[in-house]
Structure 1
């Protein structure tokens, strides 16, 4: 049985821990130099508040989620993860909450704009031409990028960034990927357009309403092949039925391609571009997008990566012909990868004792706490360059 003294002691410890956690959040907020880029958090707060308001769920369901998200922003270590993830969370929550937006708030649905643009720009409906000849083999080849790789590759790319990319790349990837998809969903809400399957089922000039269910298009054949009802049930109950433009399948594919080329260099271009055109063919073959949608998605990806590139860290220096220099640069890459892992997983060297004293926090900056790692990488680079220069001078003296 606990005594009153033990209860009071535990209460004081809990109170002290809570006070320290809150102080560790308020302190960097006070010392942070605010810029226009910090307006992103105000925008996200407004968006989250809107989704919370329209979500037709009981308060006991919504409130713990909101409080839990705020709670994860208080500890320094979880804040390092949450701040870059906020853009992705906003995209996913907004997409889910589209079903709760009243039809009276939504704009007119455009059913003939995309087919007309397709005919004007490309001389015909390419999606319809590709979908005319179907086969089980083609169905499975289209399902693989559209229904499997589209959801798996972002996680695989994030893992490759952690292991091979320079320190500080992962937060930029998370923000770029999240804001790109968020902008795409907002565009789909404000400019709703019917996909190719609508023209096939109803005709391009049949007025559409928000009460209409979605359609799996060619993925219904995949359900028949696999003996499931997964895509028929999922797409029929889609929260965003008329979201043809822009194609986020295209946007995500291009964004992943850009970051893969950024990490691995020109040798990865054939693989990256090959995947992009594979998923382009799949989206048109399955009747989910026009070429206009795919080009629009690529445009979103280009703009997002262009903005994100200003915050990307420097890549490794190129390989030299000198064997010792090549070996040194290889060691530099290992050191930088090690710094990335230390930052992400916060090993035992990371002191987080809030009761002893507060360290200077930089988690609220766009670089998300990677300044120290970049400084270490620069010091390692200087050491490598000096050692290579000394080796060259010694060889000149010997010769």
Structure 2
């Protein structure tokens, strides 16, 4: 009688499955309670239910074709693809990848809908003034955005930071798809998918705990000198969506303005931490850390967030990676226990380690 529950708890996607189920049900409840239909937010490459499978299939094709050419040559590339799929892509592996993407998708869509209900559930209870005063205190009586505008200028820097900020939109689903498809250790894919899904859930909790608009929406005049760019266009799109949602919550518009905490920072920090602890190639890890630095800078420069928002994002990202590692068996202690069991069974044990109770460094199997 206890075999199925025990087997389920050992499943690396058990937590992500339960998390997506709970947050999905909560979203459905509030949708019915507020009489606001569920919406599938559109973005890069269209709706998420189209975007994620497309990204997964694209990454699969990009990954498998070079392998086939390398192993079998150009002439036999097509037959080589079939051989690789037959030998390396079992139904078990496909189901793990699909579970990771579905869990991520449900948590993301739930996050966007719950975020959209903010004005209906919190009204005009905003805390921008307090966070703005905190910004001034931390910058010795100055506004961070004004200081950055004076220091970096408002021409080239604005365009570069805007591109890097908006790049986040495709980076998130692409990295989730890449880890799930390319990494052969199912627990590592589950770790990252769970951590990113946790970002959405913890982000919604932070939005309702401390509702804010963000500097560019609270004090738009402070950012009026910035040239038109991808970030300002996105801000205008969010404003149009907000106005449309408030006029007709039952319509097709979705409300997407919230400051605390910064999910841009939390998700990018999650990515950088995960790549670091998972032992991914050094160049990729360094790129992620550099991108995190530019993301934090862009949130302040472009007026998306207050300093407290970014700090909150760092906390969420760190907690998400740690919980993700714990529930998927990727802390050092858990991996060491599995290694000992594998050694007793005669299997080779992994050699990479990490601090106790910290996410363990892992390597891709050959």
State TM-score, norm by structure 1.
0.55
The answer to whether the 8 A contact 1:161-1:263 is kept is: no
Matches within 5 A, 1:139-218: 139-156=158-175, 158-160=177-179, 162-164=181-183, 166-201=185-220
Establish whether residue 279 from structure 1 lines up as the match of residue 259 from structure 2.
Answer: no
Which has the larger displacement, 33-42 or 185-194? 33-42
In structure 2, the partner of 1:394 is: none
Matches within 5 A, 1:240-389: 240=255, 242-264=257-279, 267-268=282-283, 269-312=285-328, 380-381=347-348
Runs of 4+ residues deviating >6 angstroms: 216-220
Q: CA deviation digits over 1:295-347, x for unaligned, max 9?
A: 1100111111111222455699xxxxxxxxxxxxxxxxxxxxxxxxxxxxxxx
The answer to whether the 8 A contact 1:196-1:289 is kept is: yes
* Offset, 1:119: 2.5
Q: CA deviation digits over 1:161-195, x for unaligned, max 9?
A: 64256332112211111112221123213321131
CA distance in 1, matches of 2:309, 2:119: 25
Establish whether residue 49 from structure 1 lines up as the match of residue 56 from structure 2.
Answer: no
Which has the larger displacement, 95-104 or 136-145? 95-104
Alignment CA distance shift 1:43-1:85 (3 Å): same
The answer to whether the 8 A contact 1:91-1:185 is kept is: no
The answer to whether the 8 A contact 2:264-2:295 is kept is: yes
CA distance in 1, matches of 2:233, 2:330: 47
> What SS does the corresponding residue of 2:305 show, helix, strand or coil?
coil
Alignment CA distance shift 1:95-1:80 (3 Å): same
Alignment CA distance shift 1:78-1:380 (3 Å): closer
> What SS does the corresponding residue of 1:264 show, helix, strand or coil?
coil
Which has the larger displacement, 189-198 or 281-290? 189-198
Establish whether residue 93 from structure 1 lines up as the match of residue 110 from structure 2.
Answer: yes
The answer to whether the 8 A contact 1:195-1:289 is kept is: yes
User: What's the C-alpha RMSD, in Å, of the aligned pairs?
Assistant: 4.3
Alignment CA distance shift 1:241-1:315 (3 Å): closer
The answer to whether the 8 A contact 2:263-2:313 is kept is: yes
The answer to whether the 8 A contact 1:180-1:301 is kept is: yes
The answer to whether the 8 A contact 1:184-1:248 is kept is: yes
Which has the larger displacement, 90-99 or 307-316? 307-316
> What SS does the corresponding residue of 1:293 show, helix, strand or coil?
helix
> What SS does the corresponding residue of 1:112 show, helix, strand or coil?
helix
Q: CA deviation digits over 1:149-172, x for unaligned, max 9?
A: 443244135414642563321122
* Offset, 1:254: 0.3
Unaligned 5+ segments in structure 2 are 40-90, 243-253, 333-337, 352-366
State TM-score, norm by structure 2.
0.59
CA distance in 2, matches of 1:308, 1:110: 31
The answer to whether the 8 A contact 1:139-1:218 is kept is: no
CA distance in 1, matches of 2:156, 2:288: 23
CA distance in 2, matches of 1:172, 1:217: 42
